Amino acid sequence: MNAARSSESAQPAAPGGSSGAPQFLPWQRETARAWLGNRDRFAHAWLVHGLAGIGKLDFAIAAAASLLCETPENGLACGHCAACAWFASGNHPDLRRIRPEAVALEEGADAAESAEDAEPAAGTTKRAPSKEIRIDQIRSLESWFNTATHRGGWRVALLYPAHALNVVSSNALLKVLEEPPPHTVFLLVADAPDRLLPTLVSRCRRLPLPAPDPDTALRWLREQNVEPAREWLAAAGGAPLAALRLAQSGEAACPPWLSQLVGPLANGQAPDVGTLAEALEKVAAGEWIDALQRLYTDLMLAGAGAPARYFPSLAGGVAQIAARMNAARVAESARWLTKQRALATHPLNAKLFAHAALQRVVLSCQA
């Protein structure tokens, strides 16, 4: 499953549901009703953004279905009309999904659905599916813009994740938005607007989506049979779809290696860094760096007398470390760890990389 998609959407690859239309998540419904309730002066481009893992893609998919619905109920898709049936089957002619080929393939779509030039030219080596939204995908929309809508209503272009736009494709989209085609709504989905071309952001109305309150998120996770829901939600930083993805990974909410790191440090002892590095050798560097960054956040919170945010099961040990640690040294090492993310995908010796990072963490946490 694609990481970008799996942490942002609970919808199946082909949108649909028991009612024949994708549904807004419980914490999205009121926002959706208020937003979709005034379509007479609806903007031609919207940037849907917010914390990763809260369901922004689910929101955009359900919004597209609602905009295309012929008999909406309180602004939301009815799930019964012909347009909703087309949407549920994945064949609505007034909907286009623009996403990287790699995302399209992992959603179960044919690569050609994502990019007309998916096949390499004769005599060239077959390339890997692109992780970027390419200019060809933007240009391929021109003929679609120049035809009348099939049902006489809106035309919706759903683009995600927006940060996958490169500079060339961003500029191509910018030109489209400067002179938007009639009866067309663009829905761009992004975690952070500051990762996008500023001029592109300026052409969109922004729609920030809030994270759900903990009680709502926990209730939804338990409905998905996720337990212990509170620990998984904490590990995901309060983002329920990210928590669901983590719970389905087969791993623990708190990685065992992290407990083996914190336990000795809490007792004033040095953990076995060599053994821990061997364990991390089999884990993607981005994952264990993320876990260590979250640990540092909990350490700094504990130092300020605040409760743990990410690993409540380690709160006791973290508090013991925080009581003895040098806060400035911990903050400096946290910044150093952030810089190591740039090396996470480089072909380094994985074990040595993990060993060096763990050694730095141990030294920063000792009195």
Whole-number pLDDT of residue 118: 43
Tell me if 303 sits within 8 A of 326, measured CB to CB: no
Per-residue pLDDT band for 230 (boundaries 50, 70, 90) equals very high
DSSP bridge partners of 208: 49
Q: What is the mean pLDDT of the chain?
A: 89
As a whole number of angstroms, the distance between CA 98 and CA 142 comes to 13
12's tokens: 């199946």
- 249 φ, ψ to 5°? -75, -15
The reported pLDDT for the residue numbered 146 is: 87
SS3 at position 58: helix
Lowest mean pLDDT among 15-24, 51-60, 144-153, 235-244: 15-24
Tell me the C-alpha distance between 336 and 349, whole Å.
19
Q: Write the pLDDT tens digit of every residue in 164-190.
A: 999 999 999 999 999 999 999 999 999
pLDDT score, position 11: 62
pLDDT for residue 341 is more than 90? no
Neighbours of 327 (CB within 10 A): 12
Q: Which residue has the higher pLDDT, 59 or 346?
A: 59
